[in-house]
Amino acid sequence: MVLFHHRNHLVIRFAVITTVFFLVTSLTGCASLKSWFGFDDGTTVQQSAASLAIEAMDEFNVGKYYKALEKFEEIMDRFPFSPEAMLAELKAADCHYFQEEYLEAKILYQQFEEQHPTNEAVPYVMFQTGMCDFSRTGRIDRDISGARDAIQSFGRLLRAFPDSPYTGEAKARIKAALEFLVNHEYYVVVFYVRTDRYDEATHRLKYLLAMYPDSTISPMARKMLERIEAGNPPKMGFSRWLPDLSMPDWTLFDPGQQGNKKEEDPEKQP
């Protein structure tokens, strides 16, 4: 009888201990248990972040930016304090950029610069910020804010890191963006001439030639001004007087190139 009572007591104690054990497990998770037993040295977390980073870079390097972005975002969510988190922040911005999601990419590049102002990747980040503005620029008859923003962004890079590996290209792209804005001004001039608003066209042409005398469009602008002042403005064939509508090729403004593209004389076109 005593033996039966002792066994019954042991069974009850075992049941209570087992119940407490599983309750603690469900509340604290496996990580706490590993810590209790001396296995929580951070190895598993680091290996998981590292393996995700390797997988993400494999996807990124073959142009699978959407899949790579998912893995980079997982690293940032699950392991925000791991060494791989900073890489994930930068490459997530790159993924958006190469998917032509320029506004999203710009935000992430700016966040990276704000959070890691002394990181060695900051010149690259500033250059890519400018590239986001430059790349979203379309035609001179549409939104031109990208060109203006690109000039400002590349200008920041040149002031902060004048000797960076991106200096030459940044300067060339600034010139291309400026040329784009000048072409926009001249496009407005052609519109004024088409609608017989010659005073406004004259004022804009004089401003353009005074501010940008060496622009590619300036020879055509001078001819247009001469014809307006002579009382013989164009009345038809306005398409021949229009500049290129798209962003100029920035390589034409690279110091290694021999001269810029010349605009054709509209009066000599067939």
- One pLDDT digit (tens) per residue for the chain, 270 residues: 443 344 444 334 434 333 333 333 343 344 443 343 333 444 445 558 999 999 999 999 999 999 999 999 999 999 999 999 999 999 999 999 999 999 999 999 999 999 999 999 999 999 999 999 999 998 998 889 999 999 999 999 999 999 999 999 999 999 999 999 999 999 999 999 999 999 999 999 999 999 999 999 999 999 999 999 999 998 888 888 888 888 988 888 886 654 444 444 555 443
pTM: 0.75
pLDDT at site 199: 95
pLDDT at site 58: 96
The rounded distance, in Å, linking the Cα atoms of 114 and 180 is 30
pLDDT at site 23: 34
Q: Are 245 and 184 in contact (CB under 8 A)?
A: no
**What is the total residue count of the chain?**
270
- Count CB atoms within 10 A of the CB of residue 34: 13
pLDDT at site 178: 96
Q: Are 241 and 234 in contact (CB under 8 A)?
A: yes
Structural domains of the chain sorted by starting position, each given as residue range(s) with its CATH number in brackets: 47-121 (1.25.40.10), 137-270 (no CATH)
Q: Three-state DSSP class for 95?
A: helix
Q: Which residues contact 84 (CB under 8 A, 6 or more apart)?
A: 49, 50, 52, 53, 75
The rounded distance, in Å, linking the Cα atoms of 175 and 253 is 6
